[in-house]
Structure 1
């Protein structure tokens, strides 16, 4: 099966998919429309690799364990808004911004078990162009897994590269990207993004240097088509 044919089948919603999210919120920002379509049809599953606890490192009121628990709750809420349930989420809870220190064999074993248990043939992975180290490590793990599992189809989705690369369109044109119109579920996707309250400056108040999703970035992903391509 050609790469783009497999991608179009995955985008149709008629075949079950798995989304690998380095952090809670990546799944909704980049794949919220895709997930809503899949949940309404063949089904989907989200594997969140890290615990998201590094977004506010200077907070006293929200130490890493408490923040990780909050982000887990937010992820489940977002998935529920998109049409899934808590059973459609696997939380690996690996160290945020330090995914690269975890043995690849451990990560691959966990990913393989979930993918096979859910009988999915399509796996969506953050683009290698994303500069965040956890996104790049997730993409590297997917590349290794692809070498071991030719029966699976791997597809890329951009997060940070779509936001911060001024030449994003030119740099990804060689992949022949496919756009998914999400207008029918736009309000649902926006609500899913808004469920990640800790990343929108609404929860942690004692870390002025902590991460906050820029509103312009939220608008970019909420108001426009989603973009995918065959993982190169």
Structure 2
């Protein structure tokens, strides 16, 4: 599946410094699937790993990207995607200790024990010393993204000192009215220029999502080169979430 790249309407948004987004402390990024961390927050993570520190939580096992593949059944694909996530985080400057792999079934996050997930994430944020939590925007159409957004809101209710930021992935490209919808939340743009090389490499590490590994599911997910480059070089978008 290819994704059309639309004219980017972010030119008029205020720019924000990466230091402002970290809050002077380690950050925690919730990724619904392996690759969302690189696509949506790669530049911010590269900055954070080089300064205060960061932790990536992968909510699902990513096994649903190629459901018709016989060569790559869910368990095998999940192991590969976990390896790809580790490689991506390493390219952004992190290490194995900076990743939590929850491994819930891809596409079924909404059926898991939400209270238990919230409790575990609240404990993690406390242990890491995070002040800012990042989760996908609820405007993203994928159900796992929406459930991750809802979980993140419950985490900040449990930890009032924690500030939640939304970051869009799919909605940025498939919703031309996104910025109008979130204008009241004052979206800001992070210039990825200092970290483009690292972010591009991290996106590229997700080889299974680039059509380079799974060859027996022509209808499975595949990022085009244009799509990858657009995410690598375009400003990252963030806004404070509405609880």
The interval holding the TM-score normalised by the smaller chain is over 0.9
1:187 aligns with 2:201: no
Deviation at 1:79, TM superposition (A): 0.4
Quick one: distance in 2 between partners of 1:46 and 1:224? 21
Candidates 112, 127, 141, aligned match of 2:137? 127
Range 36-45 or range 215-224, more displaced: 215-224
Candidates 29, 35, 55, aligned match of 1:25? 35
1:115 aligns with 2:125: yes
User: Conserved in 2, the CA contact under 8 Å of 1:125 and 1:156?
Assistant: yes
Candidates 203, 215, 226, aligned match of 2:225? 215
User: Conserved in 1, the CA contact under 8 Å of 2:18 and 2:44?
Assistant: no
Candidates 93, 104, 108, aligned match of 1:83? 93
CA pair 97-10 structure 1, distance change in 2 beyond 3 A: farther
1:177 aligns with 2:193: no
User: Conserved in 2, the CA contact under 8 Å of 1:157 and 1:229?
Assistant: yes
Deviation at 1:216, TM superposition (A): 3.2
1:16 aligns with 2:8: no
Gaps of 5+ in 2: 1-16
Quick one: distance in 1 between partners of 2:98 and 2:212? 26
Range 9-18 or range 61-70, more displaced: 9-18
Deviation at 1:136, TM superposition (A): 0.3
Q: Aligned to 1:28, what secondary structure does the other structure show?
A: helix
Quick one: distance in 2 between partners of 1:8 and 1:37? 7
Counterpart of 1:137? 147
Counterpart of 1:71? 81
1:231 aligns with 2:238: no
Gaps of 5+ in 1: 1-6
Quick one: distance in 2 between partners of 1:9 and 1:40? 11
Q: Aligned to 1:75, what secondary structure does the other structure show?
A: helix
User: Conserved in 2, the CA contact under 8 Å of 1:16 and 1:120?
Assistant: yes
Quick one: distance in 1 between partners of 2:62 and 2:172? 21
Q: Aligned to 1:219, what secondary structure does the other structure show?
A: helix
* RMSD value, Cα: 1.8
Deviation at 1:170, TM superposition (A): 1.8
Candidates 115, 122, 125, aligned match of 1:105? 115
**TM-score, structure 2 length as denominator?**
0.89
Counterpart of 2:5? none
Quick one: distance in 1 between partners of 2:22 and 2:62? 30
Deviation at 1:96, TM superposition (A): 0.5
User: Conserved in 1, the CA contact under 8 Å of 2:21 and 2:132?
Assistant: no
How many residues are treated as equivalent by the alignment? Answer: 228
Deviation at 1:36, TM superposition (A): 0.3
Q: Deviations over 1:73-108 (max 9, x none)?
A: 000100000001111100000010110000111211
Candidates 210, 215, 234, aligned match of 1:200? 210
User: Conserved in 1, the CA contact under 8 Å of 2:27 and 2:130?
Assistant: yes
Deviation at 1:12, TM superposition (A): 5.2
